[in-house]
Structures are given as structure tokens and as C-alpha cells.
Amino acid sequence: MQSFHTHTDILGRLAAQAALSSYVPYSGKKQGAVLLLEDGSVLQGCRVENASYQLTIGALDNVWSTAHAIGRMDVCAVASSETWSKADRAFLEAMSSFGWTFPTDSLAVLSEVLPEPLESIQPLLQGDVSEPATGAELARSSASMAWVPESDFPVGCIVRTESGHIVPGVNVEHPDWHRIICAERNALSTIVAYRYGAVTDIHVSCVKDPGGSPCGACRQVMVELAPNASVWLDRPDSPPTGMPVSSLLPGSFTGRNLRRHVT
Ligand code: THU
């Protein structure tokens, strides 16, 4: 068994760097988390707040859902820039298929020997999503990465940014339904963690529901994180339906008076 001192140091430093991407205009409390994968690759996540506080995505949830979206569940450790909260420990411990141990109060590991952390990987897809139809196609195929033991209802999302990044999101479920993250929120929190910039298009495919449409929680998050984007909903026998984010939640809560911190 390794002592994990080096990993605590290196991964702790990377998690602290990831924290710098946090979107925390309400609390100012930045937090980062990183996942170490079996080949030494590292993925990052950060805290992403929302005016409706309970829709805030924690750093751990952010990075965990990113790993699912890109099909990299060869996770061997996760580190946080902060001491694990009770809620984060509970999040990890409730996953019955993983046997976590906690060598320190900011590191959780799945194996006795860890690879050396080598390089950060970008959770991006290649492809052409310049047309709604090709965006829908990619969203549909991304949905195969969804982790849906609770609902068996996979959703795929592809977010495109102004600078041409193509970022996947899938719904990632958890025995605690409050910690389930939808495909759309998964992709949007990845955009924040990696500082990919302004979002132009959000393609969504609810593969088992031809009439599927983003839930209220995702609409609230889109309004805050991607206010100028267009949303395209996959439809089986017709072209995707498009609409501006600004039309999805008329009169939405802005939380303008709650903002205390510059991010
Ligand atoms: N879900 C999404 O991922 N996006 C939506 O727009 C609608 C709902 C997920 C959440 C949950 O994992 C499952 O679908 C059933 O609600």
C-alpha cells in the first residue's frame, strides 16, 4: 500500500488550481476537485453556484459527472481543495459499486496503488455540430454514456461554445436523488470548470422520449450560465426544435440582489 503523501500533495495542488475556475458570485467560496484516472490522466471540476442556491453544483459532483460524460470511469482517486464535507463523503460512500477509502480528509481512493498524476485531459468531443441535425445526432450518441440505474432514462447533451468547443453532458444518477445531475447541467458545469467561455448552442436528446424537454432546474441553470444560447431538442421524425434560452423560463429568478462576489 502506498503512503499517498505525494498524491495528496500533487492532487491537492491540482484541486486548488481547479478551484480558481469556480463560479461563486453568491458565497465567494471556491472549491475544486480532481479525479485521477488509471493512466494518470486528471479531470477537474469546480463549484458552480446558482441564484436558486439548491441548484448549486459542487466540485465533486461536477468532476464526477464529467468523467461519465466522456466515458472515463477508470477512476482511482478523487481529491478536493477543501476538507471533504459530510455530504461529499456520503455522496461517495453511497455508490455501492465503489469501495472508497479516505487516506486523508481531502483524498478518497479506490485502489491501494495509484498511478502518477500525469496530465490534465480536456473533456471535449470532435465532430461537426454546426447544424441542429448533427448536434442532435451527437447528443443522441452521447446519451449512451448516461449513468441511469434509477430511471433507465438516458439523456445526452452537447454544448457548443463561441470558440468552437464541443462539450458532452449526460445524466448521472445517484441513490440520493437530490445529487442526480441532468445532462444539461453536467455539460454546463464542465464549461465553467474548463473555462471554455460563452455558450452558443445546447443540443439535448431524451432518447426514450421523443417529446422530451429540459426540466425546470436545467432551465434555471441555463438562464444563468448560458443566457444567450439556443436550445435544440431532438425529435425522432422531424428536425430538432430550436428556441432561445431566454424563452425557456419567462420571469425567472435572477438573484441579482444576492450577488456579493466578483468571479
Ligand atoms: N433528465 C435530464 O438529464 N435532462 C432533462 O432535461 C430531463 C431529465 C434526467 C434526470 C434523471 O436522471 C432522469 O432524466 C429522469 O428525470
Catalytic residues, by residue number, are: 184
Question: Taking CB atoms and a 6 Å cutoff, what residues make up the pocket around ligand 1?
Answer: 148, 151, 153, 155, 171, 173, 180, 182-184, 214-215, 218
Which atom, in ligand 1's list, is nearest to the CA of 182? 3
The pTM for the full model equals 0.97
Residue 210 is predicted with a pLDDT of 86
Q: From atom 3 of ligand 1, which residue's Cα is the shortest distance away? A: 182
The model's pLDDT over 124-165, given as tens digits with 9 standing for 90+, comes to 999 999 999 999 999 999 999 999 999 999 999 999 999 999
Give the position, in ligand 1's atom list, of the atom nearest the Cα of 154: 14
Domain 2-109 and domain 132-247 have a common topology: yes
Query: Which residue has its alpha carbon closest to ligand 1 atom 9?
Result: 182
Each residue's pLDDT tens digit, 96-116: 889 999 999 999 999 999 999
Residue whose Cα lies nearest atom 12 of ligand 1: it is 171
Distance 102 CA to ligand 1 centre (A): 31
Per-residue pLDDT, 126: 95
Give the residue-averaged pLDDT of 59-71: 98
pLDDT at 1 over 70: no
CATH of domain 2-109: 3.40.140.10
Is the per-residue pLDDT at 172 higher than 90?
Answer: yes
State the pLDDT at residue 248: 96
pLDDT at residue 85 in the model: 96
- Domain range summary for the chain, segments of one domain joined by +: 2-109, 132-247
Residue 12, CA atoms < 13 Å, CB-side half-sphere: 14
pLDDT of residue 60: 98
Position 5, amino acid: H
CATH, range 132-247: 3.40.140.10
Q: Distance (Å, rounded) from C-alpha 176 to C-alpha 194? A: 27
Range of weakest confidence among 70-74, 80-84, 258-262? 258-262
The three cell numbers of residue 185 are 447541467
CA nearest 11: which of 101, 115, 100?
Answer: 115
Alpha-carbon gap, residue 261 to 29, rounded angstroms: 9
Of 46, 49, 67, nearest in space to 195 by CA: 46
pLDDT at 263 over 80: no
Measure 129 CA to ligand 1 centroid, in angstroms: 22
